Structure 1
Amino acid sequence: MNLHQLRFVREAVRQNYNLTDAAKALFTSQPGVSKAIIELEEELGVDIFTRHGKRIRGLTEPGRLVLSSVELIMQEIDSLKRIGKEYAAQDSGSFTIATTHTQARYILPKVVQAFMQKYPKVRLSLLQGNPKQIAEMVQRDQADLCIATESIAGVDNLVTLPCYQWEHVVVVPPDHPLLKIKSITLEEVAEHPVITYDAAFAGRSRIDQAFDKRGLKPDVLLEAIDADVIKTYVELGMGIGIIAGMAFDPDRDRNLRAIPAGHLFGMNVSRVAVKQGAYLRSYIYTFIELLAPTLNRKLIEQAMKGEHENYEL
């Protein structure tokens, strides 16, 4: 048994059981991958994969257990490599953050700027997607951490910690009648066409739940993943917008007004998540502390050990 065999098994699964693609991803030959997997099966005495002719189609029951062990072993190997790199270069390396558009556009710029001033030698990458996609990036070791709203909490193999709270706002043109109301209600919001986030983003589930609880069905005219898109269509007079409060800037959005809506849709919590058992470079702890001053390295390490599973703001 050797590490090459374990890598081949893991990559075969990641490439949807296509050994040609797995071989390309690992810069080797398809026959070599196939042979190594067969040799590992013979050594273990079980079939890892189900087959149709010479093609593999899926995992057998013992194959699922083998894959689970392989993932743990390869994670430890990756951690050992990162430990070596960190002690060789404390202030340089690569750092990949997976996040949503809202976080990348409105929250991270100042955090990234402060981080890069501290670690100018670190090569930073930002990957964007919906919460499910960015969680998978961390699970697959394509990113070191991810940042999103509540929907990344409870994802398998991820440790999540709260960063900050925020509320939605209703954005309207300067002359809109809702601005004359001291405290708007859901019924009053539902009287107007609504432009808001796609179901996968920025606390949309809380918006839907609030209306459902009151038996209301707002006319959702348009859904988008980008608050700037939502604001553009509100400026055109097509409807009212419901966006994350962080996405509204009075100086930048001079043609719009924001009405706080926390009393309608509740408070949201943005979270940072890392892979369970991952080894974090020292500068990753620094980044998390810059993002969420309520967090520190000791608390993060305790959470990684399962000692602060219920930590909340």
Structure 2
Amino acid sequence: MNFSQLELLRLLDETKFNLSKAGEKLGIVQSAASRQIQLLEEEFGSPVLLRAGKKITGFTPLGARIMAEIEHIDLARRNMQTIAKDYRDNRNGTLHIATTHTQAKYLLPNPIRNFRLQYPGIKIYMVQSSPGEIIDLLHHHKADIAICTEKLDADDRLVITPCYDWHHVAIVPKNHPLTMSGISLERLASFPLLTYSPGYTGRSNIEKAFKSAGLNLDVMLSAADSDVIKTYVRLGLGVGIIASTSYEPGNDSDLQAVDLSQHIPRSRTKVAYLKELYLPSYLKYFIGELLTQSNQTVTKS
């Protein structure tokens, strides 16, 4: 057994079991890749890959168990490379951030600006996706940190740090009936509702609130993007439910926000990274800036 053979298994997983692509990433032809797998299975005395004819379809139970160990080896390799760069105070690298649209637009601009002033040589790559996909990006080493509200707590392989708590607001055009008397979930439910797609930006807390009140959450339009929801509220399609941090009095002066903090549980945005990940100096700095901005966000809200 050698590291190249183990790396080949990892690349097979990464390429969805495309042996040709995995071999290409390793710098070898398909026939050589196939031979390395054969040698590895002979050493283990049992197959590590499931096959349908000549097509590889997945891992055997043994292969899945070995892959769990390979993930540890791969992370250790990455950590060693990062430690060496950090030791040299290398300021030329990359910061990969996985987050949602709401956090990218309303939380991250100041931390990223301050980070760029401190580390101008570090390139920043931001991926906006769903919380579930964001977690997958962490585990596949395509993101260094994740910033979102949903799903992170369910993964015990992550270090999770709270950023800030926030609440939802209803947004409506000026002089809408909801702005003229007391708000309740029952009154909300009487209007067409526009809010986040399942899994985004506290949608689970909205669902819990309506369920606890014995009400049906009938959402006529769902979106991952607060700005999309505001656009369709402006078109008169219904009442929007968005994060309070997404309502901008200056830019949204044609809309009015109605506080829902007494009716929908508060949500918490968090930052997460792999427990075994070595944090380089620049990543620690960025997380510090992120938490500073989060404290300011809490103060404003």
Give the TM-score category using the shorter length.
Answer: over 0.9
Please tell me whether the aligned partners of residues 193 and 218 of structure 1 are also in contact (alpha carbons under 8 angstroms): no
Matches within 5 A, 1:111-126: 111-126=111-126
State the distance in 1 between where 2:24 and 2:155 align: 30
Structure 1: tracts of 5 or more residues without a match: 296-313
State the distance in 1 between where 2:75 and 2:171 align: 45
Cα deviation, residue 141, structure 1: 0.1
Secondary structure (helix, strand or coil) at the match of 2:154 reads: coil
Cα deviation, residue 156, structure 1: 4.8
Structure 2: tracts of 5 or more residues without a match: 295-301
Structure-2 change in CA distance of 1:289 and 1:218 (3 Å): same
Secondary structure (helix, strand or coil) at the match of 2:107 reads: helix
Matches within 5 A, 1:185-196: 185-196=184-195
Q: Does 1:91 align with 2:91?
A: yes
State the distance in 2 between where 1:35 and 1:188 align: 67
State the AA in 1 paired with 2:266: M
Secondary structure (helix, strand or coil) at the match of 1:12 reads: helix
Matches within 5 A, 1:236-247: 236-247=235-246
Secondary structure (helix, strand or coil) at the match of 2:134 reads: helix
Q: Which residue of 1 aligns with 2:181?
A: 181
Q: Does 1:216 align with 2:215?
A: yes
State the distance in 2 between where 1:65 and 1:189 align: 50
State the distance in 2 between where 1:157 and 1:124 align: 24
State the AA in 2 paired with 1:271: K
Secondary structure (helix, strand or coil) at the match of 2:240 reads: strand
Please tell me whether the aligned partners of residues 139 and 158 of structure 1 are also in contact (alpha carbons under 8 angstroms): no
Structure-2 change in CA distance of 1:176 and 1:294 (3 Å): closer
Q: Which has the larger displacement, 14-23 or 249-258? A: 14-23
State the distance in 2 between where 1:26 and 1:132 align: 29
Please tell me whether the aligned partners of residues 169 and 244 of structure 2 are also in contact (alpha carbons under 8 angstroms): yes
Q: Which residue of 1 aligns with 2:169?
A: 169
State the distance in 1 between where 2:6 and 2:280 align: 25
Cα deviation, residue 294, structure 1: 9.9
Cα deviation, residue 71, structure 1: 1.2
State the distance in 2 between where 1:188 and 1:129 align: 32
Secondary structure (helix, strand or coil) at the match of 1:222 reads: strand
Q: Deviations over 1:203-253 (max 9, x none)?
A: 111111111111212432211111101001111111110001111110111
Q: Which has the larger displacement, 27-36 or 221-230? A: 27-36
Q: Does 1:252 align with 2:251?
A: yes
What is the alpha-carbon root mean square deviation over aligned residues?
1.6
State the distance in 2 between where 1:140 and 1:129 align: 15
Secondary structure (helix, strand or coil) at the match of 1:164 reads: strand
Secondary structure (helix, strand or coil) at the match of 1:121 reads: coil
Please tell me whether the aligned partners of residues 192 and 219 of structure 2 are also in contact (alpha carbons under 8 angstroms): yes
TM-score, normalising length from structure 1?
Answer: 0.90
State the distance in 1 between where 2:172 and 2:43 align: 67
Secondary structure (helix, strand or coil) at the match of 2:236 reads: coil
Q: Deviations over 1:289-313 (max 9, x none)?
A: 1111399xxxxxxxxxxxxxxxxxx
Q: Does 1:274 align with 2:279?
A: no
State the distance in 2 between where 1:247 and 1:294 align: 15
Of all paired residues, the percent bearing the same amino acid is 38
Please tell me whether the aligned partners of residues 139 and 157 of structure 1 are also in contact (alpha carbons under 8 angstroms): no
Q: Does 1:78 align with 2:78?
A: yes
Q: Deviations over 1:272-302 (max 9, x none)?
A: 110120111111111111111399xxxxxxx
Structure-2 change in CA distance of 1:71 and 1:288 (3 Å): same
- Count of matched residue positions in the alignment of Structure 1 and Structure 2: 294
State the distance in 2 between where 1:84 and 1:58 align: 35
Q: Which residue of 2 aligns with 1:58?
A: 58
Q: Which has the larger displacement, 86-95 or 167-176? A: 86-95
Q: Which residue of 2 aligns with 1:307?
A: none
State the distance in 1 between where 2:68 and 2:176 align: 56
